[in-house]
Structure 1
């Protein structure tokens, strides 16, 4: 039976907005229908392609008058019907989905009606995602950063969030006022706090400006200080929030990753003791490997990592990607590329596709799979907008294969834990799902554009078994909605999307 409807987050946001930023009340209301469709589109994509346990099957058409679209059959006999979704599309929103003939425009109400296990929490997050997205759209600015703008300026122009996750803008626990104060899309400048730790675990060179004598000063996000930490927090320094929200750019300095333990998309993020303990070794390993690779790729070095022994009180300091942009160049996060004025998009997309696949596949052949999605991967554009090299940041979720490395005479000494695996499937999932299903799919914006780019560049790529798998098999990608509806299943879960170049359909 359908559960009671979740609280109306849209109305709650609107009421708070009228007291915080009343001039945005009308733009917010006007943005709500589009935000509902944007989140519903992401949800419908998940219903069409993910292995959700309460779905019995999928088929084209319905047998009704239109005979078009996609029908999803539930185990209890009910049927969902909507447009046939393009798995790589980032526009062309779905306005409604029908459940046994009844139309649903609001994604959270559709999930309420489905009555699936763990759906109540997911439904609340969908409502939050819609309201937060409408808030972002209502407060967006026109115009783009200049040619040599800092990468954080590009990141603060990204208003849509994750291109394929229904929780693209979900920020439960954040009030409207806090979204304006901390959200990068609201052009925020955040003052980080500092917590002194006497016995902190430190790896790398912890900056002197984050020390008080022998004591380590750990930067903390003000939301964390207000809602999570029960300790004295000193006044710290200003920084610009990036699209991950918990990582911030220090003016003319490095980036600081804080332990902002709020559920933003699929999971609660923190900084584990394992990540701090291995940060220096992983950074040094990747710095040496990319030098050996001699490819147009730079890794932002981890300068230092510190933990007070708990996941809620830790931080990582790393280089700014802007260090790798030269005179007249821009370092742009891949997620911001749809905002740029790309010259001759089809030709540009082909050149970008060639660049990222050559680098990603060469590194995979050597033994490292990057999680090269639109947040972790940046591209350096020259003055004419051409892609010239890549910058990768945040090494916490890469995968390293000692066996592959050994075949090339490279030792994985000092690396341990979850990033180490020789599982071929795990390595390919990590790279293919992020680089093709994420970076290239979202930049292309449709299956047709992605197919054209791959057809253009594939003949010139080095022939490897990884390339053969990439171009001939269904594409693995994270089952983001399944993961969110499986709170007792740790780690990533996966689904298969249609091979961009054609081939068997997962239906």
Structure 2
């Protein structure tokens, strides 16, 4: 399937999943000659699409990027995402029509960049086929991110598009190409820069002379890192600020693109603003200064809770994100330094996003790790992984009232032959907390809740935590991985869903025996016929915030996904 058809099919299925333009709610299913057709009438035409019943994420799924429209001559076949978006575009509301039109440009970008990345995957065959033993710890971390970057987001159809990147930008700064480059630096007056922990400044932080500035002239300034692509967008510099003429600090792009790995200090990563959009036209990858403080809040609290709780102890580590900086509230002038814990002998860190990745020879990337002495087989690993995720995230939710937005990129696994699987956490600045439960479980930390800056973090209803757990941990980090590994034959689908259900049940039973109320969680996880689904396409691209009503475009839900956990019942 070519990239155009591939993206078209992904967009069609996202539209079915999110009921775009009332496809599901206003359409009807007919059965003709053993084929199911979704019939949908707009003000302009009657459209029909062949669909199949589905029990994962959406009740109906398309398997072909073509559909039919009714004409005076009969049914006429159509294809192409441009035609599909035009067919679904509403007649009224100019703003929404404009968003549909702009999304077509994002789809164009996804096709072009998909072709470039497919070529890069082939061209880098030798490098991508390196075994864990051929690389050091930092190279393995970079290798994992690169392989993960070739695998599309499970649910957002045009995640391949780094909207705002030219072809040259992609080749130079995208993780698929994994090319080193040097950061640029901005000198700002010391009084205009806020550092969260000045004492944590690393020894390698440059001096003005190292970036082409006079130490004497700029001794009252501080240097902050700037991505080369962002530098060209800095039109209004703060008073007294100056762009350093010299680039300095060799780095590699990581999966997040705006976070880079230091070549000479691979256990340290810098997160810098980037004027690029991913996962939706409204998702510009800048840095809101408040997230620096909220992220550090969670880093400290999660570490404290993890040490004190006998179940959580040893199951996760959180990276050090204490050294950050920002200039006033400028989203383009901020940074975060991420320091990983000292590597363990033989350890490999890989994001959950890489678990479904395949090597150029067709093998699963995960399989290359499981082949090492001291590692379990695929079914044993899946059991260990499910239990780890269930123990950590259900305990945080039900005992402490904390649900983390630990998506596939931010959830990192520590794999070490002969050792238990553990988690490495990072970038937790958008979690949800039920304050009363947190205060009851952690009275010594209760006063710290007032330090959180984003008012959306503290919620009044437990449903917000359930939605976060189900759409992030359960659907993205567990079910999406299961479906990918099962489709490639590494694990068996039905048995693996039963393993997942058993892991959740074991964690819930343990919590119940410890006096924790699990009734609401059981109802949401096992008894409800449907699950919440993130409507990423609608909130991120096709609807304005006013039309969607979403306070957070990354947390806009529909209760429309079939409950795949009910499939696992014996």
What TM-score bracket applies, with the shorter chain setting the length?
0.7 to 0.9
The CA deviation at 1:123 is: 1.1
* Unmatched 5+ stretches in structure 2: 70-74, 91-96, 208-218, 358-364, 371-376, 487-492, 510-517
> Does residue 1:303 correspond to 2:322, yes or no?
yes
> Does residue 1:276 correspond to 2:292, yes or no?
yes
Q: Tell me how far apart the structure 1 counterparts of residues 175 and 50 of structure 2 sit (CA, whole Å).
A: 34
Q: Tell me how far apart the structure 2 counterparts of residues 214 and 131 of structure 1 sit (CA, whole Å).
A: 46
Partner of 1:128 in structure 2?
109
Partner of 1:442 in structure 2?
480
Q: Using a 3 Å threshold, how does the CA distance of structure 1 residues 392 and 102 change in structure 2: closer, same or farther?
A: farther
- TM-score, with structure 1 as normaliser: 0.84
The CA deviation at 1:382 is: 2.1
RMSD: 2.8
The CA deviation at 1:371 is: 0.9
Answer yes or no: is the 8 Å Cα contact 2:181–2:251 preserved in 1.
Answer: yes
Answer yes or no: is the 8 Å Cα contact 1:223–1:260 preserved in 2.
Answer: yes
Partner of 2:171 in structure 1?
180
Partner of 1:260 in structure 2?
274
Answer yes or no: is the 8 Å Cα contact 2:55–2:562 preserved in 1.
Answer: no
Answer yes or no: is the 8 Å Cα contact 1:184–1:242 preserved in 2.
Answer: yes
Q: Tell me how far apart the structure 1 counterparts of residues 50 and 226 of structure 2 sit (CA, whole Å).
A: 44
CA distances 1:301-360 after superposition (whole Å, capped 9, x unpaired):
21211111211111111123xx36411121111111123243543442232111111111
> Does residue 1:83 correspond to 2:58, yes or no?
no
Q: Using a 3 Å threshold, how does the CA distance of structure 1 residues 192 and 47 change in structure 2: closer, same or farther?
A: same
Q: Tell me how far apart the structure 2 counterparts of residues 109 and 186 of structure 1 sit (CA, whole Å).
A: 32
Q: Tell me how far apart the structure 2 counterparts of residues 93 and 436 of structure 1 sit (CA, whole Å).
A: 23
The CA deviation at 1:37 is: 3.9
> Does residue 1:111 correspond to 2:99, yes or no?
no
Partner of 1:289 in structure 2?
305
> Does residue 1:329 correspond to 2:347, yes or no?
yes
Q: Rg: which structure is higher?
A: 2
Q: Using a 3 Å threshold, how does the CA distance of structure 1 residues 284 and 153 change in structure 2: closer, same or farther?
A: same
Partner of 1:17 in structure 2?
none
> Does residue 1:39 correspond to 2:7, yes or no?
yes
Partner of 2:253 in structure 1?
241
Q: Using a 3 Å threshold, how does the CA distance of structure 1 residues 55 and 330 change in structure 2: closer, same or farther?
A: same
Q: Tell me how far apart the structure 2 counterparts of residues 301 and 377 of structure 1 sit (CA, whole Å).
A: 15
The CA deviation at 1:272 is: 1.2
Q: Tell me how far apart the structure 1 counterparts of residues 14 and 163 of structure 2 sit (CA, whole Å).
A: 21
Partner of 1:153 in structure 2?
143
Partner of 1:391 in structure 2?
424
DSSP-derived class of the 1:261 partner: coil
Q: Using a 3 Å threshold, how does the CA distance of structure 1 residues 58 and 436 change in structure 2: closer, same or farther?
A: farther
Matches within 5 A, 1:464-479: 464-465=518-519, 467-468=521-522, 469-473=524-528, 474-479=530-535
The CA deviation at 1:442 is: 1.9
Partner of 2:396 in structure 1?
363
Which of 40, 45, 50 in structure 2 is aligned with 1:73? Answer: 40
Q: Tell me how far apart the structure 1 counterparts of residues 62 and 230 of structure 2 sit (CA, whole Å).
A: 35
Q: Tell me how far apart the structure 2 counterparts of residues 183 and 203 of structure 1 sit (CA, whole Å).
A: 29
Partner of 2:67 in structure 1?
98
DSSP-derived class of the 1:240 partner: strand
DSSP-derived class of the 1:444 partner: helix
Which segment drifts farther, 146-155 or 98-107?
Answer: 98-107
Answer yes or no: is the 8 Å Cα contact 1:210–1:218 preserved in 2.
Answer: no
Which of 367, 372, 377 in structure 1 is aligned with 2:411? Answer: 377
DSSP-derived class of the 2:252 partner: strand
Q: Using a 3 Å threshold, how does the CA distance of structure 1 residues 360 and 103 change in structure 2: closer, same or farther?
A: farther
Q: Tell me how far apart the structure 1 counterparts of residues 413 and 346 of structure 2 sit (CA, whole Å).
A: 14
> Does residue 1:428 correspond to 2:466, yes or no?
yes
DSSP-derived class of the 1:375 partner: coil
Q: Would you say how many aligned residue pairs link Structure 1 and Structure 2?
A: 465
Answer yes or no: is the 8 Å Cα contact 1:299–1:391 preserved in 2.
Answer: yes
The CA deviation at 1:224 is: 0.8
CA distances 1:399-438 after superposition (whole Å, capped 9, x unpaired):
2222111221333412242322232111221222111111
Answer yes or no: is the 8 Å Cα contact 1:108–1:124 preserved in 2.
Answer: no
Partner of 1:453 in structure 2?
499
Which of 429, 432, 440 in structure 2 is aligned with 1:407? Answer: 440
Q: Using a 3 Å threshold, how does the CA distance of structure 1 residues 138 and 48 change in structure 2: closer, same or farther?
A: same
Q: Tell me how far apart the structure 2 counterparts of residues 325 and 462 of structure 1 sit (CA, whole Å).
A: 32
The CA deviation at 1:166 is: 1.1
> Does residue 1:502 correspond to 2:470, yes or no?
no
Partner of 2:210 in structure 1?
none
Answer yes or no: is the 8 Å Cα contact 1:109–1:123 preserved in 2.
Answer: no
> Does residue 1:49 correspond to 2:42, yes or no?
no
Q: Tell me how far apart the structure 1 counterparts of residues 483 and 68 of structure 2 sit (CA, whole Å).
A: 28
DSSP-derived class of the 1:83 partner: strand
Q: Using a 3 Å threshold, how does the CA distance of structure 1 residues 467 and 87 change in structure 2: closer, same or farther?
A: same
* Unmatched 5+ stretches in structure 1: 1-32
CA distances 1:132-184 after superposition (whole Å, capped 9, x unpaired):
11211111133155155432221012213322111211122211111000010
Q: Tell me how far apart the structure 2 counterparts of residues 303 and 297 of structure 1 sit (CA, whole Å).
A: 18
Which segment drifts farther, 186-195 or 99-108?
Answer: 99-108
Q: Using a 3 Å threshold, how does the CA distance of structure 1 residues 399 and 221 change in structure 2: closer, same or farther?
A: same
- TM-score, with structure 2 as normaliser: 0.75
Q: Using a 3 Å threshold, how does the CA distance of structure 1 residues 329 and 273 change in structure 2: closer, same or farther?
A: closer
Partner of 1:7 in structure 2?
none
Answer yes or no: is the 8 Å Cα contact 1:372–1:431 preserved in 2.
Answer: no
DSSP-derived class of the 1:179 partner: helix
